[in-house]
Amino acid sequence: MSTASPDYALLDVGDGRRLERFGAITLDRPAPGADGHIPQEPGAWAAAQARFDRADRGALAHEGWTTRDGQPLEPWLVEDGAHRFELRLAPSGQVGLFPEQHAARAWISRQADRIAEPGTGIAGAFSGPGAVLNLFGYTGAATISAARTGVAVTHVDASRPAVAWARHNAMLNGLAGAQIRWISDDAAAFAERELRRGRRFAGIVLDPPSYGHGATGRAWRLADDLPALLAACAELLDDGPAFVLLTAHTPGFGPDRLGQILLEALEPVVGSSAGGGIEVADQSLLSEGGTHLHLGSMARWAR
């Protein structure tokens, strides 16, 4: 169970939807994990400043965000632990921050601290691209979690607007001058090129979508493409202290399945000891009414 920031609350869950508070803004949006649950506070939902609807939920006159007063909702700031993020109503239904990954971000910071420790020889060895590679970096939460420790980071996302959003978040956290390389590219293609260039990383973070398209139009399907990408990532790992964090929000990819896929990628490179360093967990939140909402899965490995 992820422990979220005081600036976030899962107010209620039910009928395939979640009612959330991000800072001063309350939102009503879909959540597949909420199917079958009954709202505990039906009257609270009318207070949402914005609601997101998807076309796959039957015939809709409108797909996307609808605000309560009919006016655009301006970007707003929230705090997540020691970090600040600008949130927006994105066309995808996202807002720029995954609260269920709060604990994962704290783990990334701990691993980056370990890499940056004097005597490891890691941080100083990465004067080029970066000690940590963040693939599918989105709005930069994992990048900021790593960069705040002083290690260099390579942030990759196929969406140029998402990369610009991430750079803005880095600035909000005093990291405008940090060693962050911002890349708009297809994640798999980028990893393949880094292998050919002989680059290596001490840590790799991946939060791949179920499906999508890269910057060059290359199709991505998690079920088909994740094993090959993880195999490339395993080869990109440095020989010293290292870590991999893999998260997914795709139905059918529970913690055990993610852990097995990660193990199969790491074993040829790391050896039979790889399994001993793998941890898996459900990524979920508990609503104020006591409803457990599953929002994804996580597998992580550290040497």
Render pLDDT for 10-22 as a digit per residue (tens, 0 to 9): 999 999 999 999 9
Q: Quick check: 4 pLDDT over 60? A: no
The CA distance from 88 to 162, in Å, is 11
C-alpha dihedral sign at 247, 220, 158, 57:
negative
What is residue 43's predicted lDDT score, i.e. its pLDDT? 95
The CA distance from 13 to 286, in Å, is 9
Torsion angles phi and psi, residue 34, rounded to 5: -90, -5
> Closest Cα partner for 206 from 84, 104, 92, 87?
104
Give 231's pLDDT tier (boundaries 50, 70, 90). very high
The CA distance from 19 to 141, in Å, is 22
Q: Please name each of the domains of the chain with its CATH number.
A: 8-87 (2.60.40.1180), 99-302 (3.40.50.150)
Give 219's pLDDT tier (boundaries 50, 70, 90). confident
3-state secondary structure labels for all residues of 57-71? CCCCCCCEEEECCCC
Question: Measured in whole angstroms, how far is the alpha carbon of residue 56 from the centre of its chain?
Answer: 24
Angle, CA 232 vertex, CA 109 and CA 168 arms, to 5°: 40
> Crossing angle of helices 222-236/255-270, nearest 10°?
40
Tokens coding 99: 């609260």
The CA distance from 272 to 276, in Å, is 9
Share of the chain above pLDDT 90, in %: 81
Torsion of the alpha carbons at 179, 185, 188 and 191, rounded to the nearest 10: -30
Question: Region 30-45: what's the mean pLDDT?
Answer: 93
Tokens coding 55: 């076309």
The dihedral region occupied by 38, where left means phi > 0, alpha psi between -120 and 50, and beta the remainder, is beta
The CA distance from 229 to 220, in Å, is 11
The CA distance from 195 to 258, in Å, is 23
The CA distance from 51 to 61, in Å, is 14
Residues 108-160 pLDDT 10s: 999 999 988 654 444 444 433 359 999 999 999 999 999 999 999 999 999 99
The CA distance from 138 to 160, in Å, is 10
The dihedral region occupied by 11, where left means phi > 0, alpha psi between -120 and 50, and beta the remainder, is alpha
Question: Measured in whole angstroms, how far is the alpha carbon of residue 125 from the centre of its chain?
Answer: 27
The CA distance from 162 to 184, in Å, is 9
